[in-house]
């Protein structure tokens, strides 16, 4: 990866447009540790900033469905379906 391009576009090295989305606490892990969107995505082996960029380029409905699937696949959080849906709705609103 050419890091110089990233550094030119973002002086601090990271795209901060998605901070609200990535830093949102989405629950507690099974061990009680707080889990943010960023930590969930990273633990799933996904690039959190790329996921945020991809979701923000989609329609709200498509992004919502994709993010809900990601949350369902993350086994370290337990949510009721309604709670998960509310979290996904809030996260998608922070991107659009």
Please tell me the distance from the alpha carbon of residue 7 to that of residue 89, in angstroms, as a whole number.
32
pLDDT at position 7? 45
SS3 64: helix
pLDDT tens digit sequence for 30-48: 888 999 999 999 999 999 9
| Whole-structure pTM value | 0.81
Tell me, rounded to whole angstroms, the distance of Cα 40 from its chain centroid. Answer: 7
């Amino acid at each position: 990866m050419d890091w110089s391009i990233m550094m030119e576009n973002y002086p601090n090295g990271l795209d901060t447009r998605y901070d609200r989305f990535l830093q949102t606490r989405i629950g507690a892990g099974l061990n009680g540790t707080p889990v943010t969107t960023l930590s969930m995505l990273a633990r799933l082996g996904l690039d959190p900033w790329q996921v945020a960029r991809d979701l923000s380029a989609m329609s709200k409905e498509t992004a919502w469905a994709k993010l809900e699937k990601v949350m369902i696949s993350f086994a370290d959080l337990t949510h009721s379906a309604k709670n998960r849906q509310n979290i996904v709705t809030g996260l998608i609103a922070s991107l659009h």
